[in-house]
Amino acid sequence: MNRENESRLWAKLKSGDIDALNKLYIIHADPLYDYGIKLTRDPESVKDCIHDLFLDLYKYRKKLSKEVNVKYYLLKSLKRKISERSSSKIILLPPDQDFSATIYKDEDGCIEEKIIEREYENELNLSVSNALNGLTRSQLRAISMRFYENRTYEEIAVNMNVSIETARTTIYRAIKTLRHKVSY
């Protein structure tokens, strides 16, 4: 399917057309699965993430950007979903294993698309960096312990000398702040 047709389907999806969502699913489900299975070896988790992705597309359709590269948007969104599901670990691939590049390539790929991808990634990195700078010191510490050190809420509470509920609330508020400030 060419980009023009995908753009039409995207516009129809934004206006609430469930058939457009179904067509996008039919077109992209298999390539998304192939990509997802390279990020995590759990086929059921990949399938769940793909389904969640398409449910979210419909649920938040009014907030979607008008002009997007649909394939790239779906790949990035799936990667984010898998990362969130995988105990909230961020998937960092070595540069020699960037699977999105091999899947994203198509016969009419051009340098402009690569520039747009780089700009998108740079904007996202800047957005994340700015969002992290907006967190309090305790929020940063709690997020770091929870998601980078894989500590339990109980361990975080002991380490920060707070109750378990306070540790949970701190992390919840930090995530809420990050979601609000990061545009993707």
CA separation for the pair 39, 18 (Å, rounded)? 29
Q: pLDDT at position 96, please?
A: 53
Helix%, strand%, coil% for the chain, nearest 5: 75, 0, 25
Which one-letter amino acid corresponds to residue 165? E
DSSP state of 96: G
Q: pLDDT at position 154, please?
A: 94
Q: pLDDT at position 47, please?
A: 92
The low-confidence residues of the chain, meaning pLDDT below 50, are 88-92, 101-108
Same fold, 1-109 and 110-184: no
Q: pLDDT at position 29, please?
A: 92
* pLDDT tens profile 97-144: 555 544 444 444 567 677 777 877 878 778 878 888 888 999 999 988
CATH topology for 1-109 is Rna Polymerase Sigma Factor; Chain: A (1.10.1740)
Domain ranges of the chain: 1-109, 110-184
Q: pLDDT at position 97, please?
A: 53
Q: Count CB neighbours of 61 within 10 A.
A: 17
Check: CB of residue 36 under 8 Å from CB of residue 50. Answer: yes
Q: pLDDT at position 99, please?
A: 52
Q: pLDDT at position 142, please?
A: 92
Q: pLDDT at position 179, please?
A: 84
CA separation for the pair 22, 93 (Å, rounded)? 31
Q: pLDDT at position 50, please?
A: 93
Q: What is the CATH number of domain 110-184?
A: 1.10.10.10
